[in-house]
Each structure stands twice: as structure tokens, then as C-alpha cells.
Amino acid sequence: MSRLAVSTTDALRVTLAAPDDFDGWRDAARNLAASGVPADAVAWHIGTEEPELFGSDAPKRAAAQFPVPRNFVDLAADVVCHSDPERFALLYALLLRLRDNRHALEDEADPLVRRLQKLQKAVRRDLHKMHAFVRFREIDGRFVAFFEPEHHIVRRSASFFVGRFTNMRWSILAPDVSIHWDGEILTEGPGATRAEAPSGDPFEETWRTYYASIFNPARLKVGAMLKEMPKKYWRNMPETALVQPLIASARQRELDMIAGSAVSQEPPRAVERPGNAQAAWDALREQARTCTRCDLCGPATQTVFGEGPLTAPIMFIGEQPGDQEDLAGRPFVGPAGQLFNAVLEETGIDRSTTYVTNAVKHFKFVPRGKRRIHSKPDTGEIDACRWWVEQERALVLPQITVALGATAARSLTGKSITIGRARGAPLTLADGSECWVTVHPSFILRIPEEDRREEERALFVQDLKRVRMRAEELAE
Ligand code: URA
């Protein structure tokens, strides 16, 4: 909703109902642009401040309107959520250009287009952070979270949380506005303070356990930590209560570790497994159950986490759970898993001594009738899930990681890898350990001609035999 008025200085003043009032901006902007009102003749305001100063005789409905490209509508819907006070005026200026040139938005060198795209990117980043960092606490059967976004994104995030937590009753409190879902209806209320949100519950304990257990002072990378989890959000995240004290004591702990290994009879390891790896892994898996890092969590039945001993010298990484894995909650139990098991047996690798997981932890599918058809995860989904894979690798510290297929190879290296070129010799991962790339068992299952299928199966066996021999060499 918007109100249009003529000010005493002849500027047209538009009052929008809220800082993210997209509909209000769109209605007013359409009418103004159709009437040819120049950008500098409009003053955009929010709320009810001083409306009585101005007359209400400005035109409400203007002359013929004009179509705008869909991507402009998407851009505007994002940009109105930004906290930049000039956002409405900037969008209006671009709308005027589009009236004369439908392709104005395609000019990526145009400073106005670039500035608006930058605002859009910031809003999207803020939304992404909100999806990842909101932490609910249960209070009397209702889940309540406090979150402080940088931009006016709380209403915009509502559909994500409704989709993700449809069956829960929840509230998200933020300084500007609060949103509440009762399982059927979404309502809105006034903003709130952090003090109004509850704090402290059993989940907090699992995160704390996890962080305390995995913290390895020798591998402290404060920059990377801050990038992954900007400090601004720490106050709402229980796990971060430990970060400052752990960083503060890191140097001393590193020295203690060095001193400890100097007298130890154990062969030196490139990297130490964290003290309480099992507790950390339990906490990690617990948290992965409610992962919302990407949208795949919505339709999938459950998170399928990795399994196997944390001392495993070999870690296998597949693509994502299939239909059967999604139902069973375990990796590689369906048809691809059966082929995988048979090949492991043939190559002399005992699956129970290995750690098996997937690059993406939720099943991505397209429903077709009663069937769910596998759909390949995209790079955004692989990148979102990489965090879990990295935590698993940090706990297991495998000497050899085997990427089963291109998705796993991308997750491990961050690059597109051609299997045919990469197989047969190890790549070196960032932590110095070896990564062997081979095909995914599903690739073999999908080959229609029996001869070719057998050939590919034999190559897969050959790859895994090499892996076994290398693991034996490294164990000597
Ligand atoms: N395919 C995979 O990549 N992983 C599984 O767990 C099952 C099938």
C-alpha cells in the first residue's frame, strides 16, 4: 500500500506502508512512470511520518501503463528489502529507463544497473545467512528464534521457513517485525528484542560439544571461520559461545600438542584427530538432521549422514542418497549400494572398515506419479553441503578419500573434474591427503549394453584395487 501526495515544494511524496513494501512501491512507481514523472520529482518515504503535511490531490490512477521484463520485477522485489534509503528512488530511475528501452537492464556496465545488482546480491546473501543461522529454541511446544538481519528480509524469508518447518509452530523475532506460524496461518507482529527470545536448550549443548571436541588449535583459521559464520550472527548461535575462549587458548594448546607429540612413541601424523572425535561426530550428525543449508531439505524424508568408524583409513564419497537411502537413512543401501558392496568385496576392501558418505546429504528428486526420479544436485547444493563433508573429513582424517563420480570430486576439490582424466592417480587435497577419483556405481548401472557395462565395471574394480594397495602401503 502506498500513499501519493503533493508536497508544498511541489515534489510528489510517496509514503510506503513498510520498509519492504514492494506492492506499494510497484503501484506508485507504475503510475508515476506512466505519467512521465521524472525521478527527481518524487520523494519516497516509509510509514506514517508527517503525512498530514501534504495534500492528497495527486493522481491515483495514471495513463497507460507499460510492461517491464520479469527480471526487473525480481530485482525490484529483492532490492526493496535492502536497507539503503535510496533503494526506491534508484529502482524508480531504472523503471523510467525501461519505459524507453526494454533492454536497459541488460547493460551490465551501466552504473545504475550495477548498483542495483549489488543491492540485490547483498539482500540474497542476507537471506542465505538467515536460512542458515536462525536457531530455534523450544518453549512450551513453540519454537522461537531471534534474528537480526542486515536488511528488511524477515517477511521475505517467511515462505522458506514455512516450507521448511510446516509442521511446527514457530516464531521468528527480529527488531523490525516478528512472524509467527501456527501450522496453517502466518501472522505478523511488532519487532522484538533479543531479551524477549528464550535462550538455552539441549540443542545448544550438542553444538557446544561438537565445537569443543573438534577444535584443533594447530588448524585454527580465524579468517575462514569468520567467513563461514560472520561474527554478527554469533550472539544467536549457541555453538559460538565457545569460539572466543577456544581461540584465546589456541596458542597454548598448540604448544602443549607439540610438547606431547615430542615424547609420544606414535608415528607423527600430518594432522591430529580431535580429542573427543566420537562425541563431536554424534553432535554433528544430530545437527545435520535439521540442516537447512539448501532447499533440498524440504522434500527429502531425512538427512542421510555418513557412517563408519572414525578411524577409517579410506573414506568413500558418493553423490547424494537415492530413493532407498532417503527412506532408510543410510548411504549406499539401494541398487548402487549393492553394486558398490560387490565391487568392494571383489577388491578385498571390507566396507565395515571404511567411512561411507555423500557429497549432498538430502535426496533430490522429481516426483513422477508415485515414483521419485533422481535429479542431479547443482553446484549451489554441492557447495552448501560441502561444510558437512569437511566436518566429517576433519573428524575421520582419512588417508585416502575416494570420490565416486563428478559430484563428489567437485565437493572435494571445488572444481569440475573429468573422471576419465583424473582416475588412476591420486590428487592432493588441501589437507595434504590423497583423493582418488573414480566413477559412480550408478553410472555403470545405467549403461544399457552388457559388454560396455562389464568393461566399466572392470575399470571400477581396477580403480578400487589401486586404492586398496595404496592404503596398505600407507599403513606400513
Ligand atoms: N548414490 C549415491 O551417491 N549415494 C547413495 O547413498 C546412494 C546412491
The C-alpha angle 27, 30, 33, rounded to 5 degrees, equals 145
Q: Is 411 in the pocket of ligand 1 (CB under 6 A)?
A: no
How many whole angstroms separate alpha carbon 248 and alpha carbon 246? 5
Q: Is 319 in the pocket of ligand 1 (CB under 6 A)?
A: yes
How many whole angstroms separate alpha carbon 215 and alpha carbon 388? 15
Tell me the one-letter amino acid at 252.
Q
Q: What is the pTM of this model?
A: 0.53
How many whole angstroms separate alpha carbon 305 and alpha carbon 284? 9
Supply the pLDDT for residue 408.
98
Tell me the one-letter amino acid at 331.
P
Q: Is 27 in the pocket of ligand 1 (CB under 6 A)?
A: no
Measured from the Cα of 304, ligand 1's closest atom is 6
Measured from the Cα of 442, ligand 1's closest atom is 1
Q: Is 358 in the pocket of ligand 1 (CB under 6 A)?
A: yes
CA of 356 relative to ligand 1 center, distance in Å: 10
Pocket test of ligand 1: the residue of 325, 326, 333 to mutate, having most ligand atoms within 8 Å of its CB, is 325
Q: Is 318 in the pocket of ligand 1 (CB under 6 A)?
A: yes
How many whole angstroms separate alpha carbon 369 and alpha carbon 367? 6
Q: Is 320 in the pocket of ligand 1 (CB under 6 A)?
A: yes
How many whole angstroms separate alpha carbon 462 and alpha carbon 468? 10
Question: Which DSSP string corresponds to 5-38?
Answer: EE-TTS-EEEEESSTT-HHHHHHHHHHHHHTT--
Q: Where in the chain is the domain with CATH 3.40.470.10?
A: 289-475
Q: Is 377 in the pocket of ligand 1 (CB under 6 A)?
A: no
Per-residue pLDDT tens for 62-98? Answer: 456 778 899 999 999 999 999 999 999 999 999 999 9
Which of the four CATH numbers 3.40.140.10, 3.20.140.10, 3.40.50.2000, 3.40.470.10 does domain 289-475 have?
3.40.470.10
Let me know: does 354 contact 312? Beta carbons within 8 Å. yes
Categorize the per-residue pLDDT at 265 as very low, low, confident or very high, splitting at 50, 70 and 90: very low
Which helix (H) or strand (E) segment holds residue 420: the answer is helix 419-422
Per-residue pLDDT tens for 148-158? Answer: 999 999 999 99
Supply the pLDDT for residue 8.
44
